[in-house]
Structure formats: C-alpha cells, structure tokens
Chain A
Amino acid sequence: MDFSIAALLTQDGITNGAIYALLALALVLVFAVTRVIFVPSGEFVTYGTLTLAALQLGKPPGTVGLLTGLALLAGAIELYAALRQREWRRLPTRLALYVVAPLLIAGAVRWLAPLSLAFPVQILLTIAIVTALGPLLYRIVYQPLAEASVLVLLIVSVAVHFAMLGLGLWFFGAEGSRTPAFTDASFRIGDMTISGQSALVVLFSLALIGALYLFFGRTLYGKALRATALNRVGARLVGVSPILAGSLTFTLAAMLCAVSGVLIGPITTVYYDSGFLVSLKGFVGAIIGGLVSYPAAAAGSLLVGLLESFSSFWASAFKEVIVFTLIIPVLLWRSLTTHHHEEEE
C-alpha cells in the first residue's frame, strides 16, 4: 500500500464515518431522551434517499401516502383521547401539529412532484417528508408506551423496523436507486485528489453537529431535552412535558436520518433494505460513546468508517466481521472502566 491508496481509503473512511456519525447522534439522542433504541433509523435513511430518487423521476414517492395515512391515524388517536378525557383545550394545537402540518407537506409534494423542480427544492421536500414521519411515529407507537421498560421499547422498535422495511419494498421496489452528485468538482491537496462530494458530506455533517451543539447549549427546547435525558422525573417536576420532549426528539432524529439519506444517495446505490446495516454501523459508533456521549459517538463512528474502509482493502471477505467485532473490546473496556449502576425499571 502506498501513500495515495492510503489517502484514498482515509478519505472514503471519513466520508462514510461522517454519515455513520449523523446516525450515531440520532441514536444517542433518541436513547437518552426516550430510552428507545431507534432500530428503524436505517429505514429513515433509505426513505430519505429513495424519496429523493422518486422525486427525481417526477413521481410522488410512496412515503407521501405513508405520511398521509399516519397523519390521519394520529388525528383519530388524538380525537379519541380528547373524547375519553373530555379535554378539548389542547386538541386544536395537536391536530394542527399531527394532522394539518403533515397533510400540508403531503399535499405540497403531490402537487409539486410532477413539475421538474430544482435539485435543492427536491432535497428540501425529501427532508420535510421524512422528518414529518418522525413525530407521527412517536405519537402512534411510542407515546402510549412511554413508561414501558427498555426491553419492551426495543422489541417495539424491532417491530417498527420490520414494518417500515416491508413498506419500503412496497413503495420503492426491490431494486436500488442512486441520486445525482451534488457537485462534480474535485480539488487537489498535494498528491491527493479530494472529491467535492466527500468534502460536502463532511461539511454538512460538521454543520449539523454544530447546529445541534448550539441547539442543546443555547435554546430553551434544547435544554429541556437535556434535562429530560438527565432525569426524566425531575424534568417533569419542573414542567418539561415528556410528550413534547419525545416528539421533538423524534423530529430531530428523523431529520438527521433524512439528511444522512440525502448525503449517502450520490455515493452509493441504496436499496429498500440498505438502512439496517448502515444504522448498525452507526450503532457501533454510538456504543463506543456508551449511548450517552455525543462527541464520543461521532468519534466512534469515524473510527468505524476508517476501519471499514481499510479492512475492505486488506480483507474484503471479512470486512463486516472486523467492524462488528470491534464492539466486543469496546464493551469489555467500558464495563471494566465505568461504574455500573442499574437503572430502576
């Protein structure tokens, strides 16, 4: 291996690592606030890419139908809840959030899809659709189970993963799609050629991570989420609504996944079932961060990306084995160095 190959592999590893990092952040965020292991994160990624690919072909993507269906279902649940509790005061806001907003997005996409839109508009529409799925999923699936044990939440997540996987096959078919590159530009540093696409992926990821940092550090909602993550009961006592926290978390996580999907589209072919493996690698990154630390999760994901890239060069047949075996020494090291305290379930 000479320097140019090592440089190419590093670049490839960092690009993939940046995408895994976004997923790892989504996983850590969701777990910290709601204790849900966000297994379907991979499906949000594939929905992102494939929705964009469908928009490129001028077709309204299948996810629009899903969005409409979930919005109506969430509306029905809210109505039923209001009827049972005879509590009408909050209903208009909730209906506006869970029904009107998603239906507006769905309507806009249906109307705009056949027009040949500019690429950036298609990207924005894609992110809007997939992000809107997040809070609806929380409302319908996780909110009624908010007090359940981690194990129950995990099992439900696996079920959601399979449901979304099947829907993905139905919406997008078995074959994969690619989206066009954001830029064909490339530039040189010394002997090394860096593709504009890779640079953009890394820049986008960094910008998103920075934005999240500001959100959690400077805004009231961000602080409320942090408070919920630290101590759910305490946060509730000082007036942070767990429903709001959960809903906001899923919105953010869905957005992170959708952006990953848009970023990964030009680099690789994405299939309806690609998401699970990608999210699993993000999960390995998140585990390195102990599912609590954002910087460690991002660094862990970068490590996963690099390890994957170099092992695909040295021993392509054992690539996945090497990446997933990484989790064993990490878990050993973590269980030896951290104090163990069982959370009361």
Chain B
Amino acid sequence: MKSLLRYAAAAAFFLCALASADINVGVTLSATGPAASLGIPEKNTFELIGSPMIGGQKVNFIVIDDKSDTTEAVKNTRKLISEDKVDVIIGSTVTPNSLAMRDVVAEAEVPMISLAASAQIINPADPKTKWVFKTPQNDSLMADAVAISMRANGVNTMGYIGFADAYGESWLGEIKRSAQTAGIKVVAEEKYNRNDPSVTGQVLKLLAAKPDAILIGGSGTPAATPEKELVARGYKGKIYQTHGVANSDFLRVVGADGNGTLLPAGPMLVYEQLPEGNAVKKSAAEYVTIYEGKYGPGSRTTFGGHAWDAYKLLQLAIPEALKKGQPGTKAFRAALRDALENSKEVAGANGVFNMNAGDHNGFDNRARVMVKIENGKWVLLK
C-alpha cells in the first residue's frame, strides 16, 4: 500500500514536471485606466495568439491587467515570476510601469519585452537593462522623422503642446533635440492633461508665438483636443501629431479638422500602400489580416502591433533557447535572453528588428513612415 502511494506520488510529480514543461509567458498590460486605449488592442492581440506551439512546446500567455498603475505593474511582475514561474515577461503598456518593472526582472533574471515607447527603458546598457527589450520604436526615431519632414516643408519655428505626463515630457525632450539638429527653433511649449475640457489658454499662447508648425505630443483621442482648438482659432500652419494617435478612434473624433495633419507611424498602419518588396509589408499584412478578421475592418492600431512583435521575437528566440535548457530553469531564461539579443532581421508588424548588446530595440528607418490624414484616411507619404 505504502509503495503504491509512493508510486502515485512519483507519478504525480512526473506529471507536474511534464505540465510545467509548458513555456509560461507573463503579460502585464494597462487594459484599464488612463492607458486603456493602448492596452486594449494589446490584450486583443494576445487573445488572437492564444496558446500556440513554438519549437514543439506549448506556450501559455498569462495576461493580467495593471490598471495603468506603476505599483500594480510591479506587483503583477513579482506575482508572475514567483507564482506562475514565467520564463519571460511582456509589458507593460506605458513607460513609467516598464521602468519600474526593470528592477524586478533584473533581480529575478527573467527577460522582459516592454511595449512602451521611451528609449529610457533600455538605455543605457547596464546590468539592469541587460534583461530588458522593447518592441515599439524609440521616440527619438519618430522625432527625427518629424524634424526631417518639417525641414522639407520649410518650417523654421515650431510650437509644442503635449501631455503633462511621461509621454509628453519624453516627446518634448526628443523633439527639442531633433529640431536643433534640423535647425528648427522651438518657440513655445505648452502642457495639457488628457482629460482637460478645454485647451483654449494653451492654444492662444501657442498662436501668439506664431510658429510655422505645431507638434501635438499626445496619444489616442485626447490628442484631438488641441488640434480642433487650433483649427477653430484659425491656425494656418502645419500640424504634426505623434505615432500615439494611430487608431481609427482618433480619426473619428478629429473629423474634418484633421485634414492635412502629418505624423510618423509604424508601417503597418498603411501597409497596403507600401511598395512591393518592402521588408515590412508581408509581416504587417499577416498581423493586420488576422486582427481585423476578428475585430472588424479599420480596427488596427500600431499598439496591438507592438504586442504582436513581442510574440514574433519569442517565436524565433524560444527554439534557440530550448537547445540550451528546459523551460522553467535559469539556464533556459538566460539562453532566451541571449537569443532575443541576437535577433537578426526579424520582420514584425512595425518594422525589422536587428538587436545587439547595445540596442535592445533594434529598429531602423524601416520602422517608420510619414503619414498624412486625408478625408478621414491614413495616406502614406512617398
């Protein structure tokens, strides 16, 4: 009887070991709270991915919500690592959360792929950022595109109005640097909150400085508020937005006032208009077709694309790591980190990744295009 129990226990242990041979991926996203408009398409993307087989192993994505809250994101990360024994963390949606999560993953030596924009998340390369990767384009890459486009349009002075949060601050810093390089003067900088009922004061102040172009550093529909106010006050210069507005809700809210607006964006937004042979066209089409197949035409957002790209990186890195260790072990996680760092020419929805020890994003100019809004449509600028 006793030996029977012992066998049963051994069998149970063996079964557990088999079950835990699944690869667990912990995902913490801002599906509610202020960043919900970014987090929801990311969550939708993981629902599309489901539990795929990669390298002969079943991969489980454990998705939890961090309510756009930094403390919550850190708590989620700890929980995913200690309770769910995940081999890699994806998230979070926003920069402050991702910055705070770095300490946790570095301490536990678990690789992490952030879906937030700021380059601060992966720079500078040090022991803390060694474990951290990110899929969205660095703000600097996008800011350079804006400055180049302004230069080409003969802009000499620009104004800036952006969110009074990490997103707006980061863009302000980057655009000041890019503008200086391009020889453009920033003559006014204003802040607003995404929930402000009115931005009249800020807009009047911007207009008083008479800039040739104005950049709005906001994301999603809140970025339409200053734009509508600028148009209502008769601003005649060029209006630029950031890639944060790239979803159909922005087009709906900004309406006719958005005509002629320029913005840098990930190529997936306009993949149909990309020339044949473009490196991203095929991989972007793959994602957008699946996504819009489920969530309806025009539902694509570049944010969902960042989540997809994290999956694409793992799809290639996991088989490499499996050669070096079993899922759930330290060796596997270290090998996974090395494999991610060695991602070469991985085509995702938003660009092509070429990572190395000094660059844990790995995007180049192929990850950005300039887009113009014409009659409620995104139009690729050639």
The residues of A with any CB-CB pair to B shorter than 8 Å are 5, 8-9, 12, 15-16, 19, 166, 169, 173-178, 264, 267-269, 271, 273-274, 277-278, 308-314, 316-317, 319-320
List the A residue with the shortest CB-CB distance to B194.
A271
Asked if B190 contacts A316 (CB within 8 A), the reply is yes
- Which secondary structure characterizes the binding site on chain A? helix
Asked if B197 contacts A177 (CB within 8 A), the reply is no
Asked if B196 contacts A268 (CB within 8 A), the reply is yes
How far apart are the CA atoms of A178 and B252 in the complex, in Å? 9
Query: B161 to nearest A CB, angstroms?
Result: 8
- B253's contact among A178, A309, A317, by CB below 8 Å, is which? A178
Query: B236 to nearest A CB, angstroms?
Result: 17
How far apart are the CA atoms of A8 and B208 in the complex, in Å? 13
**CB neighbours of B194 from chain A (8 A):** 271
- A269's contact among B34, B191, B221, B247, by CB below 8 Å, is which? B221
Known: A264-B197, A312-B198. A271 touches B221 (CB 8 A): yes
Question: Which listed segment binds A: B117-125, B177-185, B199-207?
Answer: B199-207
State which residues 24-83 of B face A: CB under 8 Å: 32-34, 36-37, 39-40
How far apart are the CA atoms of A12 and B225 in the complex, in Å? 14
**CB neighbours of A264 from chain B (8 A):** 197
- Which secondary structure characterizes the binding site on chain B? helix
Cβ of B192 within 8 Å of any chain A Cβ, yes or no, is yes
**CB neighbours of B90 from chain A (8 A):** none
Total A-B residue contacts, Cβ distance less than 8 Å = 101
State which residues 215-229 of B face A: CB under 8 Å: 220-222, 224-225
The residues of B with any CB-CB pair to A shorter than 8 Å are 32-34, 36-37, 39-40, 164, 190-202, 204-205, 208, 220-222, 224-225, 247, 249-250, 252-253, 255
**CB neighbours of B195 from chain A (8 A):** 271, 273-274, 277-278
- B198's contact among A173, A267, A314, by CB below 8 Å, is which? A267
How far apart are the CA atoms of A314 and B208 in the complex, in Å? 12
**CB neighbours of A16 from chain B (8 A):** 197-198
**CB neighbours of B33 from chain A (8 A):** 273
- A175's contact among B196, B221, B225, by CB below 8 Å, is which? B221
**CB neighbours of B222 from chain A (8 A):** 176, 269, 271
**CB neighbours of B198 from chain A (8 A):** 12, 15-16, 267-268, 308-309, 312
Asked if A169 contacts B191 (CB within 8 A), the reply is no
Asked if A175 contacts B197 (CB within 8 A), the reply is no
Sort A-B residue pairs by CB-CB distance and give the 3 closest, nearest first: A312-B201, A313-B201, A174-B36
List the A residue with the shortest CB-CB distance to B33.
A273
How far apart are the CA atoms of A12 and B199 in the complex, in Å? 9
